[in-house]
Amino acid sequence: MSVSIAQGTYRARPAHEAVLAFLGVPYARQPVGEWRWREAEPPATSTLTVDADAFGPTAHQPRDENERASFQPQGEDCLSLNIWTRGPRPDGRPVMVFIHGGANVSGGSADPLYDGHNVVRDNDVVLVTINYRLGPFGFLDLSEVGGPAYARSRNLGLLDQLAALRWVRANIAAFGGDAGNITVFGESAGGSAIMRLLGMPLARGLFDKAIIESGGPANIRVKGYPKADDVPAGRALTREMMQEAGVTDLAGLMALPAESVMAAAAAVARRRGDTMGISTWGARVDEVVLPDDLFGNIRRGANPGVKVLIGTNEDEMLYFRLYDRDFERGLMREYHATATSMGRPFGKVKALADRYIGGSSDPMRYVDFAGEFWLRQPSILLAEGQSHHNDVFMYLWTWDSQVPGLGAAHAIELPFVFGNLRDQSAVALTGANPPAELSRRIQAAWTAFALTGTPTAGGETPWPRYTPASRATMILTDGPWRVVDDPRGDDRQILREMFDVDTR
């Protein structure tokens, strides 16, 4: 089957189980050559017919055994998306657009874990996955060396996501989707991206619902620290990287091979004590693309028309045992030595953190604190803010992995969301025989939310709205789901005081 739009005609991969896949469809002019580090622009119009049967290149990134996309072909020509659909329908199906995680330095839509076939086979939706620029290609501030044309280069990764959403609004009807019913969903850095989009005026009107799975702090401020001034910091990082690369101007940067850009970026991150690059590269507050007080913006109604489903996992940070089997003890040592958690400082409010830790010598208490500090408490604050404007639903994932030591770790819900339980990445997270029925139930809830705006699915416990008064939270596990009001409320009251969010 083929679909024609203004930029050309795209021929799908042969249908399998009534599902069509259009892979590697460009949503923007590719940022190569003179367009490196420039904002995404709409793709050119064309009358060509193209076989859309292979994923586009993955954004440049280091190889990572836990990020399968990093082993796919990489390139700067990475601004593409993939569509799974049952084909055209006059009234259109709900559209779900997935933004992958990877700490803004890794990941990609070619990861087999994110294949949308099973979701669309079993649920009446159109599913889209996107790539966006990462690391130094997505978050390098060239405003000082490049002038006005590069004024927003520090947040190109976010602007790529906006370009993809604009493409979906404009074109998805041709692929059987309802352009008036778009749900964005994402996990980890993808969830953080959606948190940022919710606080950005630039994103208004591009999506109708949002599912945020284990989104991170998304530039939330910690009390006691001065208002973020990321523009000078971003420019200083650029100067440091240019020095590392041995170039003195924009022309020198533009002439660097991609591999040299990545090598210089990695060297700078290591020198800063950031071996994975995750605290060096990422979205920066600039008051142009990204407002300073995102969470305050959300509370004031930056995107009031968006319904939200948001949640975290019970043992988020145990995921990092995949990288370091002694992770929890290292986290405890870091806490006491530097008043940081995974590099993120909290020293100005350490009294609150100490109150939460309670003098414990159990390393797991520090893992738990990191999950609260990085993920759960920011998610609660976002839910509170958006609940003043629209329906919000909260979950807590509690099903434990069959892999010893992982518990209900970060990302463990993803195999269930996509129904790809036998994938290599899924097995590494869940073990070899996870409950397939839980996947069916999760998909039913996620797609019900996309269709109706409520995640209550047939046969399940009714899912109440989250409000600051009730704090109703659905406990997701393999067994009956149940609603708990304000789980771990005493902890919440301690930890929320760590964050500086304007609640006016």
What is the C-alpha separation between 90 and 178, in angstroms, rounded? Answer: 9
Nearest-5° Cα angle at 457, 456 to 462? 40
The catalytic position among 109, 213, 410, 413 is 410
410 part of the active site? yes
Of the residues 67, 316, 328, 384, which is catalytic? 316
Of 183, 180, 134, the C-alpha closest to 160 is 134
Strand partners, 97: 128, 184
Number of CB atoms found within 10 A of residue 226's CB? 6
**Over the stretch 465-485, which tens digit does the pLDDT of each residue have?**
999 999 999 999 999 999 999
The yes-or-no answer on residue 100 being catalytic is no
Each residue's pLDDT tens digit, 366-381: 999 999 999 999 999 9
Q: Mean pLDDT across the stretch 3-32?
A: 97
226 has pLDDT over 80: no
Four-residue CA torsion sign, 282, 285, 289, 293: positive
**How far does Cα 149 stand from its chain's mean position?**
27
**Count of C-beta atoms within a 10 Å radius of residue 158:** 26
pLDDT tens figures, 283-321: 999 888 999 889 999 999 999 999 999 999 999 999 999
Contact present, 179 and 173 (Cβ < 8 Å): yes
Strands 49-52 and 80-85: unpaired
- Range of lowest pLDDT (115-124, 137-146, 225-234, 362-371): 225-234
- How far is CA 327 from each of CA 38, 234, 319, 406, rounded to the nearest angstrom? 38, 30, 9, 12
Decide: pTM greater than 0.85.
Answer: yes
Residue 60 structure tokens: 């440049």
Task: Considering the candidates 188, 214, 341, 387, report the single residue annotated as catalytic.
Answer: 188
Backbone angles phi, psi at 248, to 5 degrees: -120, -5
**Mean per-residue pLDDT of the chain:** 95
Active site residue 117: no
Neighbours of 490 (CB within 10 A): 9
